[in-house]
Structure 1
Amino acid sequence: MLRIGGTALPVVGRARMYVCGITPYDTTHLGHAATFVWADVAGRVLRHLGVEVESCRNVTDVDDVLDAAAARAGERADSFAAVQQFRFDRDMAALGVRRPVHEPRAHNHVGQVVTLAAALLEGGHAYEREGTVFFRGAGTPERAGVPAEVARELAVEFGHLHDERADHPDDVPVWRAARPGEPAWPSPWGSGRPGWHAECAAMALTVLGASVDLHVGGEDLRFPHHAYESAMAEAVTGVRPFARSWMHVGTVRVGGEKMAKSAGNLVLVSDLLEGHPAAALRLLLVDRPWDRPWDFEHAALDTAAARLERLYAAAARGVGDGHSAAADAVSAALLADLDVPGALAVAEEAGGAAARLALSVLGLA
């Protein structure tokens, strides 16, 4: 049985995994890659157990930040997003990340967001003010384990300034009235567009149903995004918890600062792949605890490449050997909260079947 974050995740036959995907405007930097490679590893470990993984990774192509980036580039938002999506898909393929079973795009699920907003209104979980439908979010930060002051700071960081029309500071838009000149869609409350958290809630509910077994995303999305996404889903369905298990992948930093376009410190996967094997980059991303933040240094890629060669050499030992106790130890480490460093330590020392198993399950072969 797989354990994630110290919590057992028993599944029978099929696991529903929702991966919080990209907003296609600055792809693909190493922070993106870390999240999606770890999601791929989780899926591979589940399949190693004989579980069918129904994966869903969304594309947030209705977003204010995307619109602004496209405007700066002098392009239509949909054309700009398509180019960024192509680059992202190319980078994921190079890193050995399996394509998800489902890849919903926000612009195709605007109608589902309208349905979500209407259901929340009907259930008393939302209210409408001047064409904007607000989710009643009081208590959401506390349930997510975030103190009120920290919640306000994080909301500002993500551009969620308090709307004076809202009844409570923790209320957020499910549907937002359109501003002049921005893409908008019709709704019972007038022309508008989906709220960010509502997009993911609507896509996850539409594709995977009322709950998911494993939800994967960056640590920086724990609040407000995942907290409100799950709160909206639980409010509309009555099913709790929305996600049985969470993987909040540790933030990638440069010089101690979170990698972000706004910080001007992006490290692009495409640039790194020009001078290093893709498998070495993948190894660098996963040879660590998945939930801890870490600092990227270029020299670490050479170290990862050298270790990869040692693992290949170890795998070549005893080619005719069958399964071994060391291979069982590799499996046990991966099931214990995706302990990749522990699995690789066994694989490198034992070699043979253990090393081949580790390389195969981790997508490094």
Structure 2
Amino acid sequence: MYHAANPISPPVILGGRRLPLVGRARMYVCGITPYDTTHLGHASTFVWADVAARVLRHAGVTVEVCRNVTDVDDVLTSAARRAGSPYDSFAAVQQFYFDHDMAALGVQRVDHEPRAHNHIDEVIALTQALLDADRAYEHDGAVYFDGERIPAQAGLAPDAARALLAEYGDDPDDPAKRTPWDVVLWSPSNAGEPAWPSPWSSGRPGWHVECAAMAMTTFGPSLDLHTGGADLRFPHHAYESAMAEAVTGVRPFARTWLHIGIVRVNGTKMSKSTGNLVFTADLLRDHPAAALRLLLIGRPWSQDWDYSPTDLDAAATRLDRLHTATGRPSSSPSAETAATRALLDDLDVVTALDIAEQEGGRTARTILAILGLT
């Protein structure tokens, strides 16, 4: 078993890569856009990020976690307008509900929680740096990032990249763009929209540059671990990384990634647009929080999966078995070592839990404590 006092970090594999860590691990988690309460897709991402941090800390690694809040976003502004509320007040209320859900699920408090509206100056500085590097251009008060090479770097065919850009609001048919693959760094604001002064217009930042600015402000030019939902891989993470790398010259922006598998309902991705959201708070009214946490992490982290109420009942039943196992006589030290090593091998929670349930005793107690399932 590895203890936090151990000065030598054991081998760690994350995101399919061996990740030597010296000093501290800088972990950036793509946070919420606070326009709705927490659904299972959100919860899965943030619980897995919490598990990664817990496992690294148990291994003796000093972990700093930054989880941003995207509180400047056109989707949020539209939701606030429908609710008849100022966007910032609306975001604060939704953030309160989110924090309550995270606490209930045992997600530990993060070290840094930057909010986009507090980092407008950094967004402007990054945008200007991209202009100076000839990786961006201005058009009628808007500034666009030159993204022509990004789809190919992400391994996407043009049609697939175009569809994803359109899906996430980066209109590839915007006539102001030089190429369909360019994305907004700064947009002029209309009346009633959030706006800040800039060298180009009174406006607001784009989504991707917000994350790049917040991550760089917190951790500098690179990260050890970047986590987020698999649906953020493109365009968000691809462009965020490209913007940071274009300015700093440091590559890769993130040494490794955890793109958490998508949660579906009846085969369809859980999302507000499809109307199939399952909210965390609703489930917590009738089920133990630890059972829901176990449901979320009881599979490989990158695996897409379908939510079913019967699976939550099964998770509650297994949680009871695991807790019962902790009361059995202590198992062999080798079993405990095997279980903790499974967690260090790309967060193999499935194997670690199987060993814990079979061996019981101290092994079960250790693994449940690491995973936040006590």
User: TM-score of the superposition, structure 1-length normalised?
Assistant: 0.98
Taking the aligned partners of 1:108 and 1:133, their CA distance within structure 2 comes to: 20
Residue of structure 2 equivalent to 1:217? 228
Taking the aligned partners of 1:148 and 1:315, their CA distance within structure 2 comes to: 53
Provide the identity percentage.
63
Name the SS for the 1:117 alignment partner.
Answer: helix
Residue of structure 2 equivalent to 1:189? 200
* Contact persistence 1:322–1:353 (CA under 8 A): yes
Taking the aligned partners of 1:242 and 1:213, their CA distance within structure 2 comes to: 8
Moved more, 176-185 or 108-117: 176-185
Residue of structure 2 equivalent to 1:342? 351
Deviations 1:293-335, CA, capped at 9 Å, x for gaps:
10000111110011001111111112xx487110001111111
- 2:125 aligned residue (115, 121, 136): 115
Pair 1:42 & 2:52 matched: yes
Once the 2 structures are TM-superposed, how far is the Cα of residue 13 of structure 1 from its aligned partner? 2.5
Q: Aligned ranges for residues 165-314 of structure 1 at < 5 Å?
A: 165-314=176-325
| Letter matched to residue 351 of structure 1 | G
Q: Aligned ranges for residues 30-179 of structure 1 at < 5 Å?
A: 30-162=40-172, 163-179=174-190
Name the SS for the 1:245 alignment partner.
Answer: strand
Name the SS for the 1:104 alignment partner.
Answer: coil
Once the 2 structures are TM-superposed, how far is the Cα of residue 180 of structure 1 from its aligned partner? 3.3
Taking the aligned partners of 2:105 and 2:332, their CA distance within structure 1 comes to: 27
Taking the aligned partners of 2:125 and 2:327, their CA distance within structure 1 comes to: 56
- 1:330 aligned residue (335, 339, 358): 339
Residue of structure 1 equivalent to 2:6? none
| Letter matched to residue 217 of structure 1 | G
Name the SS for the 2:252 alignment partner.
Answer: coil
* Contact persistence 1:138–1:171 (CA under 8 A): yes
User: TM-score of the superposition, structure 2-length normalised?
Assistant: 0.96
Residue of structure 2 equivalent to 1:315? 326
| Letter matched to residue 240 of structure 1 | R
Unaligned runs of 5+ in 2: 1-10
Name the SS for the 1:239 alignment partner.
Answer: coil
Moved over 6 A (4+): none
Moved more, 341-350 or 176-185: 176-185
| Letter matched to residue 363 of structure 1 | G
Residue of structure 2 equivalent to 1:28? 38
Unaligned runs of 5+ in 1: none
Aligned length: 363
Pair 1:15 & 2:25 matched: yes
Deviations 1:254-280, CA, capped at 9 Å, x for gaps:
010000011101100000000000000
| Letter matched to residue 295 of structure 2 | L
Taking the aligned partners of 1:249 and 1:73, their CA distance within structure 2 comes to: 31
* Contact persistence 1:330–1:357 (CA under 8 A): no
Moved more, 161-170 or 265-274: 161-170
Once the 2 structures are TM-superposed, how far is the Cα of residue 14 of structure 1 from its aligned partner? 0.6
Taking the aligned partners of 2:83 and 2:48, their CA distance within structure 1 comes to: 31
Moved more, 157-166 or 225-234: 157-166
Deviations 1:140-167, CA, capped at 9 Å, x for gaps:
0111122111010011111221321111
* Contact persistence 2:339–2:352 (CA under 8 A): yes
Residue of structure 2 equivalent to 1:357? 366
* Contact persistence 1:24–1:66 (CA under 8 A): yes
Deviations 1:8-42, CA, capped at 9 Å, x for gaps:
11101210000000000112000000000000000
Name the SS for the 1:96 alignment partner.
Answer: coil
Name the SS for the 1:261 alignment partner.
Answer: coil
| Letter matched to residue 317 of structure 1 | R
Taking the aligned partners of 1:225 and 1:247, their CA distance within structure 2 comes to: 14
